[in-house]
Amino acid sequence: QQQVKQSPQSLIVQKGGISIINCAYENTAFDYFPWYQQFPGKGPALLIAIRPDVSEKKEGRFTISFNKSAKQFSLHIMDSQPGDSATYFCAASIGGSQGNLIFGKGTKLSVKP
C-alpha cells in the first residue's frame, strides 16, 4: 500500500510532441506528490510538485494532472525538447513535504530531434 507505481518504464517522443508519464498509488493518506528529473551523472532534482487539493499545476511546459478519485497523477511535458531527455521519478509522501518520499521506479525519456 506504500508503493507508487510508475509507467511506462521508458518513453521515446519526437521533438515537439507531448510526453506523458503516469503514476498510481493506493494509500489515500499521501498528501504530497512531487516529480523529480534526473540527468545522466547527476542526482535527481525537484521539477514540480502538487498537493491533492488541486487537480492541475503548470510550470512552463511541465504540468501535473491529479485525479484524487482514481488515485492517479501524471506528468505532461508539452513541446518536448531533446534537452528534456532524462529519467523522471514520481513520488508521494504523508505529512506534506515533511514526510519521507516513496518513489516510483522511474521513466527514461528520450526526445528525438
Interacting residues toward other proteins by CB under 8 A: 6, 9, 34, 36, 41-46, 49, 89, 96-98, 100-101, 103-106
Q: 3-state class of 34 per DSSP?
A: strand
- The nearer residue to other proteins, 40 or 113, going by C-beta atoms, is 40
- The nearer residue to other proteins, 6 or 74, going by C-beta atoms, is 6
Considering the complex, what minimum distance in angstroms separates the CB of residue 43 from other proteins?
3
What is the rounded CA–CA span in Å between residue 91 and residue 24?
A: 10
Q: 3-state class of 82 per DSSP?
A: helix
Query: Could you tell me which of 20, 11, 14 has the C-alpha nearest to residue 86?
Result: 11
- The nearer residue to other proteins, 17 or 108, going by C-beta atoms, is 108
